[in-house]
């Protein structure tokens, strides 16, 4: 294999593909990037058996071929090369020669045959979605994906596609996040994508990403983002019946300025540490949200105005969970709905129904 390419283009591609490479594996090939040169194109693959990121860049291919190059070393070398043009050659013993200007490297590669087989998804049924919309949907729900192994299905987000809408749902036992967008698709689909894979998808979406193609097979999914493809296994298992968790009745409703509420919760949080699990108290009544926090470090009080309907209530929340729900709303104002001090709080936009966040309260002690 022998080719030349632009250093900046190759560096960007290797950096992105490398995120799917295993950092520690008993299989050396999984710690490398598979490089294929053919038809004046360079294909790069990173794969850890759960997620694969692949892309294609322009190259001047003089001799077609393929090899595996250790990802960490390959990335560091090309990033520090002095010239814009890079020449790479791999001989029959898989020795890799990298040249740029007066700098040349000789490193050990691996045969392409050692690389595991990439999942082959043959489905032609494609769901198309605006890139900015998908990025927003993932960002506003990924925070509620579980990091526990109690229920594997909750380590991913549920995708529901039906009646011309796509819905992403995440849950971790303490909170629920739902994000909805309208799409031009007539079929129905339901599948669970690992949170790790969705994080990689959102990193590849840029301002220039217009449309993303989503292709689903029985066990795998592909997100096609510009020149990149993210191939991920799907999570098997039963997702919770999230609809039954959303309260139907609310005794207290209020509208509040999101930034002001975030600021007051951040002020209360200054007295909290990872070892201190004290709740933030919220007394909601008479057009005010009065917040307080009492810990061994001291106590703090604050209050902000809100438009309140219904009964007054005093309720407690985990400060981090409450801040996440407010921050990821990404709106100037939010509606909050409660049904007493022990029922979940529902956070929704003041206009439309693009998101719904649900947050369990903490029990207050006097």
Condensed to tens digits (0 to 9), the pLDDT of residues 42-69 reads 999 999 999 999 999 999 999 999 999 9
- Specify the pLDDT at position 23: 87
C-alpha dist (Å) from residue 1 to 38, 60, 87, 93: 9, 11, 11, 11
Q: Give 97-166 as a DSSP string.
A: EEEETTEEEEEE-EEGGGSPPPP------EEEEEHHHHHHHHHTTGGGS--SSSSGGGGEEEEEEETTEE
Domains 2-114 and 246-359 alike in fold: yes
Instruction: Report the mean per-residue pLDDT for the chain.
Output: 95
The H or E element spanning position 259 is: helix 258-269
Q: Where are the domains of the chain?
A: 2-114, 126-242, 246-359
CATH fold of 246-359, please? DNA Polymerase III; Chain A, domain 2 (3.10.150)
Q: Which CATH class, in words, describes the domain spanning 126-242? A: alpha beta
- Specify the pLDDT at position 42: 98
- Specify the pLDDT at position 274: 80
Average pLDDT over residues 125-148: 95
Kindly give, in sequence order, each residue whose CB lies less than 8 Å from that of residue 185, ignoring residues fewer than 6 positions away: 127, 128, 161, 164, 166
Condensed to tens digits (0 to 9), the pLDDT of residues 226-285 reads 999 999 999 999 999 999 999 999 999 999 999 999 999 999 999 998 887 799 999 999
The H or E element spanning position 221 is: strand 220-225
CATH of 2-114, one of 3.10.150.10, 3.40.50.1360, 3.30.70.20, 3.20.20.70: 3.10.150.10
Condensed to tens digits (0 to 9), the pLDDT of residues 76-123 reads 999 999 999 999 999 999 999 999 999 999 999 999 999 999 998 877
Condensed to tens digits (0 to 9), the pLDDT of residues 283-299 reads 999 999 999 999 999 99
Residue 269 and residue 226: Cα distance in Å, rounded? 41
Condensed to tens digits (0 to 9), the pLDDT of residues 16-46 reads 999 999 988 889 999 999 999 999 999 999 9
- Specify the pLDDT at position 277: 79
Residue 112 and residue 44: Cα distance in Å, rounded? 12
Token pair 């990802």: residue: 71
Asked if 228 and 44 touch (Cβ cutoff 8 Å), the reply is: no
Residue 255 and residue 347: Cα distance in Å, rounded? 10
């Amino acid at each position: 294999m022998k080719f030349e390419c632009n250093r900046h283009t190759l560096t960007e591609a290797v950096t992105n593909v490398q995120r799917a490479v295993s950092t520690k594996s008993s299989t050396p090939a999984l710690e490398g990037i598979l490089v294929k040169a053919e038809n004046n194109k360079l294909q790069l693959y990173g794969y850890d058996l759960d997620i694969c990121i692949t892309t294609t860049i322009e190259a001047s291919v003089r001799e077609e071929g393929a090899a595996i190059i250790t990802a960490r070393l390959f990335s560091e070398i090309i990033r520090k090369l002095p010239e814009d043009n890079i020449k790479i050659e791999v001989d029959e013993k898989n020795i890799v020669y990298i040249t740029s200007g007066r700098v040349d490297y000789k490193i050990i590669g691996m045969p392409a045959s050692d690389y595991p087989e990439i999942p082959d998804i043959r489905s032609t049924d494609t769901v198309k979605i605006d890139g900015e919309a998908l990025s927003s949907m993932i960002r506003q729900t990924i925070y509620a994906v579980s990091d526990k192994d109690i229920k594997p299905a909750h380590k991913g987000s549920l995708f529901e596609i039906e009646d011309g809408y796509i819905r992403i749902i995440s849950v971790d036992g303490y909170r629920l996040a739902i994000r909805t967008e309208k799409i031009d698709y007539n079929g129905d689909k339901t599948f669970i994508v690992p949170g790790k894979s969705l994080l990689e998808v959102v990193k590849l979406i840029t301002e220039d990403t217009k449309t993303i193609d989503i292709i689903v097979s029985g066990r795998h999914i592909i997100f096609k983002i510009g020149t990149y493809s993210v191939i991920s296994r799907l999570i098997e298992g039963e997702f919770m019946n999230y609809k039954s968790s959303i309260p139907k009745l609310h005794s207290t409703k209020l509208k509040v300025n999101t930034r002001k509420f975030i600021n007051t919760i951040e002020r209360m949080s200054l007295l909290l540490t990872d070892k201190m699990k004290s709740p933030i108290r919220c007394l909601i009544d008479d057009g005010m949200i009065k917040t307080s926090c009492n810990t061994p470090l001291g106590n703090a009080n604050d209050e902000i105005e809100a438009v309140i309907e219904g009964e007054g209530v005093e309720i407690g929340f985990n400060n981090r969970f409450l801040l996440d729900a407010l921050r990821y709303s990404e709106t100037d104002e939010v509606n909050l709905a409660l049904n007493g001090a022990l029922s979940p709080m529902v956070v929704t936009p003041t206009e439309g129904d693009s998101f719904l966040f649900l947050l369990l309260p903490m029990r207050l002690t006097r």
